[in-house]
Structure 1
């Protein structure tokens, strides 16, 4: 049958050969603790590109040393990181996939032996470190760090940048009234809470001319947190700023474990796509080709971000194609076993 999942899609000057994206997942494998690419990263990301995903998005990559989730995170706070990231992209592009980097800062969720920073001095949990409240100078420095990370992303030959505004990390902390108790221009109503992300996007665009995606937690699982009407507002603001896709995850803002089930987050991509009129990515226990095809064909999302299923099987796109009766071109070296 003709498949929507395996149809191309274009963002700006970047065309993806299909709608399957590898979701960004931390690998905690930069064991030198300096954020440098390790041999594992090269094998890990190229193997998923060989599996024929249209987009390979690498893990949350720290824009500042204090913005790492852990000491083993990849970094992009130094020009020394560029050559290793270029090698990752060589492997991805070798197989006709496009590449994306998720630029992140952990904020109060950083687990490091050094000072950590957040919009407000509220720990994520009682047994975690209380962050330093960011001064205006800290905020400006961090925004500039996103800008410089975008410059390095271009030098490293990434095709797309995603800003990590989900899961209770720094951008998410600014957006949420649960974590942002500031009384200056970066806190208060939702327009003011959006200011940090707005300035990050604007600065990134001064050094980056490719597509920009933003990942959000579209459900904070707290009645006092942002609600869907707030996320629709943020999505509309991001669209005006030139963001091309909202990657719709949920949770992580406060320590709540939501109920999970197949496709449990798809509703957020559907609502934002069709109410804010912006492309969305769906993620969350989408494990079969039929699930993914339904979401794309019924215009509930524009990309399907596959996470754990692609850890289990680097060739998940091939399995999805077989399920849908689609003939998928594979690597020349693997053709004897591809049929």
Structure 2
């Protein structure tokens, strides 16, 4: 039993890394199945190129969008960013030197991290597809420029034979050599994309070298964020239940009960911002607790009516 608990502890501790690895393997397996079962090159001058690009890029785009949609950080960052709030609280924020620049830099860094994580599955799809070679062969055989390039010094009907290469409707040794060259080009592109992914992963580890936070403080920061999230969820359920019970009693008993203090939209917006941790503020909620002045909430909260 202790071994199972130890294994479960390791899985829970490294769930992000294991999840990304599993996603990459699932994407690679899905692409191999997709290319062998669904993809069938039309070997047509008008359709080969767009058909191949569609099968190569559209699934990658869908995976990228899913990566953004399933990202909690992306949802937190984008929620309300396009809204025109008449009650903007930007005037209440003190005009600190470099505050806007720091906020924009934080926003860009967060977007870059979200994009790198979301792009893992799309790049895996494209890399595996290029290593297989079928999409590239079909696209190149239907491209007029590639046909002219491949048929330099070949016999007159070479263009038609190149177009039929992915469908394996020719036994010519010259055409088979051109097909092998296309596969080699495709695999080289696939390995270049794989190398790019490895470089991005290495760059992520290099950021630890420039970190201004020590290892133990970073570990404490992760523990704090986890505890803050759990306690915020627990307290949110508590206050939501209290508010719901109060409103239901007002409805059935036809009496006005004491109001329940619920933060306003501006306050929710403040603690939902994405910030870079500092020695004085580990999260937006921490910064809110440090800088928010004490207010008088004797008036009734509109949310509790």
TM-score (norm 1): 0.22
Structure with the greater alpha carbon radius of gyration: 2
Specify which structure has the bigger relative contact order, considering alpha-carbon pairs within 8 angstroms and separated by 6 or more residues: 2
Q: Which has the higher strand share?
A: 1
TM-score (norm 2): 0.24
Q: Which has the higher helix share?
A: 2
